[in-house]
Amino acid sequence: MRVLAIGECMAELAPTDNAGDFRLGFAGDTFNTAWYLTRCAPNATVSYLTAVGTDALSQNLTAFMRSSGLDDSFVQTIPDKSVGLYLISLKQGERSFSYWRDQSAARSLADDPARLAKAMDSANLIYFSGITLGILAPKQRQFFISALKDARASGKIIAFDPNLRPMLWESADTMTNAIMQGAGVSDILLPSFEDESVWFDDATPRATAQRYIEAGATTIIVKNGSESVYFVEDGASGEVPVKPVSDVVDTTAAGDSFNAGFLAGRATGLGLRDSIAFACRLSRKVVQHRGALVPVEASTALDGDTGRLV
Ligand code: ADP
């Protein structure tokens, strides 16, 4: 199995216990999913497609990517650009974020349609998100959607997390229209009900799933925090219960790690319910630790040959 995840990885400055000190890390929604995928599905090759600059921070990011086990063959370098940066502020336990991402090279990741097509051709499974769409200019967004459409037509599986982030978009309408376009070229949808209910007025997770089925997707997995996960696939639907965590430490990357767990399950031959249950186990661990990238032990990896949890 060859997976291609596409999007933006940013530099992260997170406060340490030493007031005023920050620690440099790297994270980003699709990147987080790729990172967890390499851990959960050790037999899969996971490539990350993005663009970075040529400065030291960009080089650090690429080195981190490589040392995490991700293939960087599709990381393009663009002189005079850099990587996006965000800083986490903590006030009485509440996190808030400041972003600097206008100069991010990742905004150019879809500038070259031939390059995109070549990268997509190398994969069996292609993963992207609403943030991937949101950082692109309208013309490049259309290149990207059209490359996904061609890839799907040639038999690739396309997985999409709408990850609705209004801050990235010029208007809510532009965002919701682009998300539905993305859904129209995808097989697997991995939305979070909390966001979908706000921006699409969905009354229930079932309504979210129905809207994406009508857009043309075949498998819809609706995450809903500590509530059950609702799924629809090929006309069958149901719920998988979530065992709520009472002492949540940090929900960063809950959805990203869930997506990785689900895709790892499918990639290694688990059935739908078992893949969702595995995703729940993984994200349950992640919300009990600080930060986006939580080291997961071997017990969270799936055996690629048998699909069994090892
Ligand atoms: P997102 O991070 O995209 O908003 P959710 O908040 O819906 O996504 O969470 C994704 C998944 O993380 C859920 O489906 C669930 O499996 C797990 N999760 C989130 N919050 C909790 C919690 N309090 N207890 C247990 N699992 C949780």
Quick check: CB of 249 below 6 Å from ligand 1?
no
Q: What is the pLDDT of residue 303?
A: 53
Q: What is the pLDDT of residue 91?
A: 80
Return the residue whose CA atom lies nearest to atom 3 of ligand 1.
255
Cβ distance 263 to 37 under 8 Å? yes
CA of 32 to the centre of ligand 1 (A): 15
Buried b / exposed e over 169-190, threshold 16 CB at 10 Å, is beeeebbbebbbbbbbbbbbbb
Q: Among 226, 228, 239, 257, which residue has the most ligand 1 atoms within 8 Å of its CB, making it the best to mutate?
A: 226
Quick check: CB of 137 below 6 Å from ligand 1?
no
Quick check: CB of 287 below 6 Å from ligand 1?
yes
Q: What is the pLDDT of residue 256?
A: 97
Q: What is the pLDDT of residue 300?
A: 57
Atom of ligand 1 nearest to the CA of 253: 2
CA of 167 to the centre of ligand 1 (A): 22
Return the residue whose CA atom lies nearest to atom 8 of ligand 1.
255
CA of 155 to the centre of ligand 1 (A): 31
Could you tell me which residues come within 8 angstroms of residue 238 by beta carbon, excluding any fewer than 6 positions away? 230, 231, 273
pLDDT tens, position by position, 236-267 = 999 999 999 988 888 889 999 999 999 999 99
In the set 173, 256, 274, 305, the catalytic residue is 256
One digit per residue, the tens of pLDDT, for the chain of length 310 reads: 999 999 999 999 998 889 889 999 999 999 999 999 999 998 899 999 999 999 999 999 999 999 999 999 999 999 999 999 999 988 876 778 899 988 899 999 999 999 999 999 999 999 999 999 999 999 999 999 999 999 999 999 999 999 999 999 999 999 999 999 999 999 999 999 999 999 999 999 999 999 999 999 999 999 999 999 999 999 899 999 999 998 888 888 999 999 999 999 999 899 999 999 999 999 999 999 888 899 876 455 665 444 444 3
- Residue 30's CB is within 10 A of a number of other CB atoms, namely 25
pTM for the structure as a whole: 0.95
Active site residue 256: yes
Q: What is the pLDDT of residue 291?
A: 85
Could you tell me which residues come within 8 angstroms of residue 245 by beta carbon, excluding any fewer than 6 positions away? 226, 284, 287, 288
CA of 286 to the centre of ligand 1 (A): 9
Could you tell me which residues come within 8 angstroms of residue 63 by beta carbon, excluding any fewer than 6 positions away? none
Quick check: CB of 229 below 6 Å from ligand 1?
yes
Quick check: CB of 226 below 6 Å from ligand 1?
yes
Q: How far apart are CA 89 and CA 22, in angstroms?
A: 10
Return the residue whose CA atom lies nearest to atom 13 of ligand 1.
225
Q: How far apart are CA 167 and CA 102, in angstroms?
A: 13
Dig out the tokens for 76 from the structure.
């393009």
Quick check: CB of 248 below 6 Å from ligand 1?
yes
pLDDT tens, position by position, 143-166 = 999 999 999 999 999 999 999 999
